[in-house]
Amino acid sequence: MAKTNISGWGNFPKANAVVERPDSEQTVRNLQQSHGIHIPRGAGRSYGDSSLSAAILESSKLTETLSFDAETGIFTCQSGKMLNTILDEIVPKGYFLPVTPGTKFITIGGAIAADIHGKNHHVDGCFSQHVLWLKLMMADGSVKKCSRTENTELFWATCGGMGLTGFILEASFQLKKIETSKIVNRTIKCENLDEVISNLLEHENYTYSVAWIDCGTSGKNLGRSLLYLGEHAKKEQVSNDDLSSYKTPSPIVSLPFNLPNWTLNKWTVKAFNALYYGKVRKKDSTAIVGFEPYFYPLDIANNWNRLYGSNGFAQYQFVIPMEGAREGMNSIMQEIVKSGESSFLAVLKLFGEQNQGWLSFPKRGLQLALDFPINKKSLELMNRLDDMVMAMDGRSYLAKDSRMKREFFESSYPKLPRFKQLLSEIDPNGKFRSLQSDRLGITTN
């Protein structure tokens, strides 16, 4: 069988694997049985090794919409359906995704398996909280329908379970109503970390909030930021908005090859950050913007991950509990500045309460996501950050992980023993396995 070089969005690590693209329930079953060890994959937008294994079953041919009720806003589709194609169908009918990540190029299977969160976690929770049911093909080839009332344990193990409980075939979920395709975006310029955290907490009543942080500053400007607060615009706030003709735009730029590994260095990142922060002049301003630039600013560039060069990059995304979050974030930012490693992208968000997903990432607190090019110094820094976050009772996100310390993972997901016990019952021969699950000891290599 032909093998392909393949990786996640961070291009680290890389694997050489057989990639299969089943086009029906029966072919998923046949391929699962013929390959033995394998992992499902959606669009490969998770950063690390969660969708890598000896064999990969990619959902790119399972993209049908099964039903869309424009009265109730209930949408049902196969797991390989991408969010951008869902938006094309639902926005013209006055609906939006209940939870969306920072890119629309992911699948519903990936959204459920990682239990994704968006800028509205403190209000609407994770994606799983809007899922009505899902159909899962188990290791023995049987198909189980799972929901909050049917096969409940399997449902909550699968939401956030990173493809280890089975292959999600279909799912049904509740959409949210919108009146326009615009967002009322309020931007608050914050001079340091303390100010942005105060503003995030003070404005918790906004549906959407996210802060972009300049990681290149220190001293009294450590963590200076732009905080973006948002609400879906009402009809009376917008003129000339025609929802019915909405179509998601395609990326307008494309990086055809990897740039040299040094392209994003301390100086280029510092210069970019200073320009980005400087472009906002007013302390507090409000504008009506399209939801595309608000939710998906990075989607205008195809393959922007190639900016980091052939060595790839890692996203370090963690959450720490609210008690002690100010001091915690401050010491972490100081450690990053001291290391000399700059993050091109640094995003701070507020999380609401944890849901019932056994390995679901968000819990009440502050989360920060940082991108680092892969090199010896950044890997050492991330190991130190693991120790710091662990001491603060925080945790890191599996969908972004490619190198987490195992003891950190084990100590931060309290339902892990229960998850492993369930896997030993539903998949006793360990067929569903990723490089990540073996590396972190969720499955045994």
Ligand X SMILES: Cc1cc2nc3c(=O)[nH]c(=O)nc-3n(C[C@H](O)[C@H](O)[C@H](O)COP(=O)(O)OP(=O)(O)OC[C@H]3O[C@@H](n4cnc5c(N)ncnc54)[C@H](O)[C@@H]3O)c2cc1C
Residues forming the site for ligand X (CB under 6 A) = 8-9, 39-46, 50-51, 59, 79, 101-103, 106-107, 109-110, 113-114, 116-118, 162-163, 167-168, 298, 399, 434
> What burial letters (b/e) apply to 301-319, b meaning 16+ CB within 10 Å?
eeebbbbbbeebbbbbbbb
Minimum CB distance to ligand X smaller for 9 or for 217: 9
Cβ atoms within 10 A of the Cβ of 248, count? 17
Taking the complex as a whole, how short is the minimal distance between the CB of residue 292 and ligand X, in angstroms?
Answer: 14
Minimum CB distance to ligand X smaller for 208 or for 408: 208
Minimum CB distance to ligand X smaller for 79 or for 217: 79
Residues 192 and 219: their CA atoms lie apart, in Å, by 9
Residues 370 and 347: their CA atoms lie apart, in Å, by 7
Rounded to 10°, the helix 376-391/325-339 angle is: 160
The alpha helices in 365-415, defined as continuous H runs, are 376-391, 406-412
- Residue closest to 52 by CA, chosen among 80, 82, 16: 16
Minimum CB distance to ligand X smaller for 154 or for 399: 399
Residues 5 and 268: their CA atoms lie apart, in Å, by 30
Q: Cα dihedral angle (68, 70, 72, 77), rounded to 10 degrees?
A: 10
Q: Are 107 and 64 in contact (CB under 8 A)?
A: no
| DSSP notation for 281-295 | -SSEEEEEEEHHHHH
Residue with tokens 């291009």: 11
- At 174, give phi and psi (nearest 5°): -95, 130
What sign results for the dihedral spanned by CA atoms 46, 162, 295, 246? Answer: positive
- Residue closest to 401 by CA, chosen among 413, 417, 391: 413
Residues 15 and 5: their CA atoms lie apart, in Å, by 6
Taking the complex as a whole, how short is the minimal distance between the CB of residue 92 and ligand X, in angstroms?
Answer: 23
Residues with Cβ within 8 Å of residue 356, at least 6 apart in sequence: 156
Minimum CB distance to ligand X smaller for 107 or for 199: 107
Taking the complex as a whole, how short is the minimal distance between the CB of residue 210 and ligand X, in angstroms?
Answer: 9
Taking the complex as a whole, how short is the minimal distance between the CB of residue 317 and ligand X, in angstroms?
Answer: 8
Strands (DSSP E) found in 235-378: 253-254, 284-290, 301-302, 313-321, 346-351, 365-373
Residues 408 and 387: their CA atoms lie apart, in Å, by 7
Q: Are 431 and 38 in contact (CB under 8 A)?
A: yes
Minimum CB distance to ligand X smaller for 28 or for 175: 28
DSSP 297: G
Taking the complex as a whole, how short is the minimal distance between the CB of residue 143 and ligand X, in angstroms?
Answer: 12
Minimum CB distance to ligand X smaller for 214 or for 401: 401
Minimum CB distance to ligand X smaller for 217 or for 358: 358
Q: Bridge-partner residues for 211, per DSSP?
A: 227, 348
Residue with tokens 């906004």: 206
Taking the complex as a whole, how short is the minimal distance between the CB of residue 84 and ligand X, in angstroms?
Answer: 11
Taking the complex as a whole, how short is the minimal distance between the CB of residue 6 and ligand X, in angstroms?
Answer: 10
Taking the complex as a whole, how short is the minimal distance between the CB of residue 400 and ligand X, in angstroms?
Answer: 7
Minimum CB distance to ligand X smaller for 111 or for 197: 111
Taking the complex as a whole, how short is the minimal distance between the CB of residue 139 and ligand X, in angstroms?
Answer: 12
Minimum CB distance to ligand X smaller for 45 or for 232: 45
Can you tell me whether residue 175 is helix, strand or coil? coil
Minimum CB distance to ligand X smaller for 44 or for 352: 44
Minimum CB distance to ligand X smaller for 82 or for 222: 82
- Residue closest to 62 by CA, chosen among 116, 21, 111, 32: 21
